Amino acid sequence: MEQTDLRVPAPATVVRPATPRQRAARAARNGGEPTLDFADRVPYDAYVHASTLHRLQQPLSDDPGEMSFLMVSQIMELYFGLTRHELREAQRCLRADRVRAALAPLRRAALHLEGLNAAWKGLRWMTPADFNRFRNLLGEGSGFQSAMYRHLEFTLGLRDAALIRPFRRQAEVHAELRATLAAPSLWDDVVALLARRGFAVPAEVLGRDVAEEHRPHPAVEAAWVAIYDDEEAADEEAGDGETTGEEAGAGGPGDELRLLGEALAEVAEQFGDWRWNHVKAVQRTMGAKVGSGGSAGLAWLQRSMARVVFPELWSARTAM
């Protein structure tokens, strides 16, 4: 069946730009009241496609709780895509050596992940009995099969080529996942940046196959230790009365890299929280039952938690 691309609005629904003068004139004509008459679809719906979004829920049962499960899952999908969008923007900045420009999308990504974590709260009402009322109707459907979540994991550096196999019958989705897997992760771009900034990152780290998951390396860890040591040295100089701590932090050579490290740590921490919240949600609603998608369920999720995002950024803290 041919699918319609919902991202492309029909000509009649195009949002028409308005200048500040036009907005002021409209408010004057309306006497300060909202506009109530439009020639076409309301501009808000033309931009947000809210009517489309609210037609995407198709529960499989009559159980009222299923709508909550379905919509929270869809909300999470949107957050996966939004977070990935921000991380890709950060990658573009890092590849151009615009470290400070990369901080804004990274900080936005961390906030989006906060929203993603908050979405779990909408399912805290669900007991095993609640889930069992419609779980069988999901068949083999599982969150494990989320293509956008795989894009997000691959972008963060958690890589396993086998995980794109479920999509090989969906040619476009499969090709997009292969492209993400073949491109450097955010952590790969960070490590390359460190090398360009003079840190001794070995050639085997820089030239490795990026489709494989990054293995922690002592040289990358040492780079982060040096970056944070530079901050300590700046603070000690400030303590001598030559400058303030704020001035030292703003001007030290490692400052923007330290800020980058902190922004990355926040992203990693929020993403780790999401994975842990997933474990707790599964434990609460189905215990140790096998997963819908064929996995061991809770046990499989618990094992996956051992894989760490931005590993040297965390291990370096032991040596600081």
Q: What is the per-residue pLDDT for 205?
A: 96
Query: Which DSSP helix (H) or strand (E) runs through 146?
Result: none
Instruction: Please answer whether residues 278 and 249 qualify as being in contact, where contact means their C-beta atoms are separated by less than 8 angstroms.
Output: no
- Looking at the chain, the whole-number percentage of residues with pLDDT higher than 90 is 68
Distance separating alpha carbons of residues 140 and 136, to the nearest angstrom: 9
pLDDT at 90: 98
In terms of pLDDT, which residue wins out, 311 or 4? 311
Whether residue 151 is annotated as binding a ligand: the answer is: no
Please answer whether residues 80 and 148 qualify as being in contact, where contact means their C-beta atoms are separated by less than 8 angstroms: yes
**Segment 31-78, tens digit of pLDDT:** 989 988 988 889 899 999 999 999 999 999 999 999 999 999 999 999
- Maximum average pLDDT range among 236-250, 256-270, 295-309: 256-270
Q: Which residue pairs, CB below 8 angstroms and at least 24 apart, start in 231-235?
A: 231/255, 231/258
- Rounded-to-integer distance, Cα 279 and Cα 81, Å: 21
DSSP H helical ranges for the chain:
20-29, 43-48, 50-53, 64-95, 99-119, 128-132, 147-156, 171-182, 186-196, 203-206, 218-239, 245-251, 255-286, 298-304, 311-319
Question: Is the predicted pLDDT of residue 244 greater than 50, yes or no?
Answer: no
Residue 165 annotated as binding? Answer: no
pLDDT of residue 60: 95
Q: Work out the pLDDT band at 2, boundaries 50, 70, 90.
A: very low
Of 84-98, 241-255, 275-289, 299-313, least confident by mean pLDDT is: 241-255
Which pLDDT score is estimated for 292?
Answer: 61
Q: What are the pLDDT digits (tens) for 288-299?
A: 776 565 555 667
User: Is a pLDDT exceeding 60 seen at residue 11?
Assistant: no
Residue 264 has pLDDT above 70, yes or no: yes
d(CA 255, CA 231): 7
Domains and CATH numbers, the chain: 1-29+38-52 (no CATH), 66-319 (1.20.58.480)
pLDDT classification of 13: cutoffs 50, 70, 90: low
Model confidence at 105: pLDDT above 80: yes
Q: What angle do CA 156, 157, 163 make, to 5 degrees?
A: 105
259 alpha carbon, distance to own chain's centre: 19
DSSP H or E segment with residue 14: none
Comparing 16-30, 59-73, 247-261, the range with the smallest average pLDDT is 247-261
3-state SS string for 285-311: HHCCCCCCCCCCCHHHHHHHCCCCCCH
Average pLDDT over residues 276-284: 88
Answer yes or no: is pLDDT of 242 > 70. no
Confidence grade of residue 304 (pLDDT, cut at 50, 70, 90): confident
Mean pLDDT of the chain: 87
